[in-house]
Every structure is written in C-alpha cells, then in structure tokens.
C-alpha cells in the first residue's frame, strides 16, 4: 500500500494516562494508504494495551502496534482477513522475542484491536479486552468479543451480566500477545445479536454506510463507562467533542487505568468535488447563461411597465 496524508474517513484520537500516576502503557496508530493495484483508499487503525511492570507493558504495546502497521503497510489488501491474521501473529512473535531478550521484560504482553477500512468495507481483528464498537443510525454494537475470564463465565452462564461488572477476575486475560505460543487472532465480526462464529466470521468485509462511526478503545474506558453512555456521547457529537467527553468521564470516575480511543467516522454524504469544465465548454456555457439573464430581465421590465419603448 502507498501511504497518504489524506484519510478517506474522519479520524479522531486521544490517549490519557489516567489518574493514578502510572505510565501510559497504551499505544495506538492510524495510517492512511491507497492500494497500489486500484488506488482504493484504506485506513488502518490499531489500539493496544500493554501488560507488565517496569515499563514493559509500554514496550509491548508499542511493539504490537508498530509490527501490525508494518505488516499491513506491506500488504496488498487482496486478502485482508488472511493478512490481518498474519499481521497480528507476527506482532505477537515480536513481543515474545523482545521479552526473551531482557529479564525486566519477561512476562510482558499486550492486547490489540485492529480496524482496517478498505474503501467502504470493514475488516477487524482483536486479542484480549481492547474493543471495537460501531455506531450505526444511533445504535451502538460491540463488534469484538473479550478474551477474559469474565466473558467465558458469561458465555457459560456461570455469572450474570450484573455480576460481571466489577468482578475481581475481570482483568484475567485468556488471550494476549506475547506468550510462548503463537497468538490466535479473533476474526469474528459480531454484528447481529445471536451471531454464531460462522456467521460472525462471514461478516468480515461488511459494507459501511454513510454516518457509521467505528470506535476502538482500551479497557480504561470500558471499565468505567457503560455502552449506553458511549452511544449517547457519539450520538451527541461532533466526533472530537464526543471522544474528549468520554475521556473526561472515565477520568472523573477514577481513571484507574490508561484511556485510549480511536474514532473513525464515515462521511455523512459523498464528498463534494469541484470538477472544472473543459475549456472548450466554458465560453459557450457563459454565453448561454448571459442570454437567459437578458431575456429574463426584458420580460420582467415589460411585465412591470418599465419597458421604455412600449
């Protein structure tokens, strides 16, 4: 892909360390490209939340983001699902390798959420509990599935949704980048309630509509702000103010973790493009407009009695 500085979707980002004084172990990136083959516009958005002390989490999330972006920048976009999988697996290997090179980095890891918009189609991948949401026609849906103990307990009906909020095991990850084995990226794009895995996988490449908003965020937001509150902020807009208000809300409720948001917005209508007329048509068109204006002026003068030669 060819980098460009003009994304075809709105991009708003914000990251805050939170209120506890800890390092910001979140990393993120948004990059615009054009596919080399057909010139189709493309945007890659990545959010990662690092795990590990002694600044190791900060390093792990940065390695994750950099490697995902590097892999997708070299991709053709012809097989986006496979290329997304490969990019996340490669990033996981890079985190594992870096952890082995330093005793202080041993045990470090990272979550990741990736949204790849190619033209009007959306592809996603995730590992851990960083999430991707979509707001469409005022309704918010969570596209990704958390890889946590709590989510598994919910799936097996061991706990209720009410018990899940604030559960002591809420931050136990079942899947993350940086382990001894290759990570298994989650390529399910969950849209409709009750989607099974086959249907969710088949939704990759879903067509975006004008006005859609895609939000990537770390758990520093979702631990403290409910989904309906996220939806309300996005509905109120505009996008930049919505992102800022969500960060402020999470901080006001304690901000016990790093807070990172990346918002992609599909333009509400087709972009207005000024197309210049070919030079050979400019003068004839101007003459025609002038004739119409003269005829209109004469008609008005005659009708109102201002015609001097009546």
> Three-class SS of residue 25?
coil
13 — phi, psi (to 5°)? -135, 150
Q: Which residues are CB-neighbours of 244 under 8 A, at least 6 positions away?
A: 14
Q: Which residues are CB-neighbours of 2 under 8 A, at least 6 positions away?
A: 33, 34, 35, 36
Cis peptide, bond prior to residue 49, ω within 30 of zero: no
For residue 179, CA distances in Å to 89, 174, 183 come to 11, 11, 7
119 vs 83: CA distance, rounded Å: 16
Percent of the chain with pLDDT over 70: 86
Query: Looking at residue 103, what DSSP letter applies?
Result: G
How does pLDDT run across 7-30, given as a tens digit for each residue?
Answer: 999 999 999 999 998 899 999 999
Tokens representing 157 are 């009906």
How does pLDDT run across 254-303, given as a tens digit for each residue?
Answer: 999 999 999 999 998 644 332 333 444 434 555 555 555 556 655 555 45
Query: What per-residue confidence (pLDDT) applies to 258?
Result: 95
CATH match for 2-265 among 3.40.50.720, 3.40.50.300, 2.30.42.10, 3.60.40.10: 3.60.40.10
| Rounded average pLDDT over 110-116 | 97
Tokens representing 216 are 């990537």
Residue 114 has pLDDT above 60, yes or no: yes
Where do the structural domains in the chain lie, given as residue ranges? 2-265, 279-310
| Rounded average pLDDT over 63-89 | 96
pTM: 0.83
31 vs 36: CA distance, rounded Å: 15
How does pLDDT run across 160-198, given as a tens digit for each residue?
Answer: 777 777 777 777 899 999 988 899 999 999 998 778 999
């Amino acid at each position: 892909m060819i980098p460009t500085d003009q994304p075809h979707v709105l991009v708003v980002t914000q990251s805050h360390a939170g209120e506890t004084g800890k390092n910001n172990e979140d990393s993120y990136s948004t990059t615009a490209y054009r596919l080399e083959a057909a010139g189709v516009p493309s945007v890659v958005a990545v959010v990662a939340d690092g795990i590990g002390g002694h600044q190791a989490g900060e390093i792990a999330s940065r390695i994750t983001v950099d490697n995902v972006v590097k892999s997708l920048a070299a991709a053709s976009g012809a097989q986006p699902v496979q290329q997304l999988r490969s990019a996340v697996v490669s990033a996981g290997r890079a985190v594992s390798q870096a952890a082995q090179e330093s005793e202080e980095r041993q045990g470090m890891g990272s979550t990741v959420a990736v949204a790849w918009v190619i033209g009007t189609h959306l592809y996603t991948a995730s590992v851990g509990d960083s999430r991707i949401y979509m707001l469409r026609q005022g309704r918010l849906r969570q596209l990704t599935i958390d890889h946590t103990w709590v989510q598994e307990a919910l799936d097996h009906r061991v706990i209720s949704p009410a018990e899940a909020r604030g559960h002591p095991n809420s931050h136990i990850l079942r899947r993350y980048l940086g382990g001894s084995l290759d990570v298994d990226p989650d390529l399910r794009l969950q849209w409709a309630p009750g989607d099974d895995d086959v249907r969710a996988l088949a939704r990759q490449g879903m067509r975006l509509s004008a006005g859609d908003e895609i939000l990537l965020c770390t758990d520093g937001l979702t631990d403290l702000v409910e989904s309906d509150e996220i939806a309300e902020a996005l509905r109120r807009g505009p996008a930049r103010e919505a992102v800022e208000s969500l960060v402020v809300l999470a901080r006001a409720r304690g901000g016990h973790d790093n807070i990172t948001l990346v918002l992609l917005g599909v333009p509400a209508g087709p972009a207005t493009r000024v197309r210049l007329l070919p030079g050979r048509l400019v003068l004839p068109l101007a003459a025609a407009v002038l004739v119409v204006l003269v005829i209109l002026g004469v008609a008005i003068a005659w009708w109102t009695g201002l015609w001097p030669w009546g």
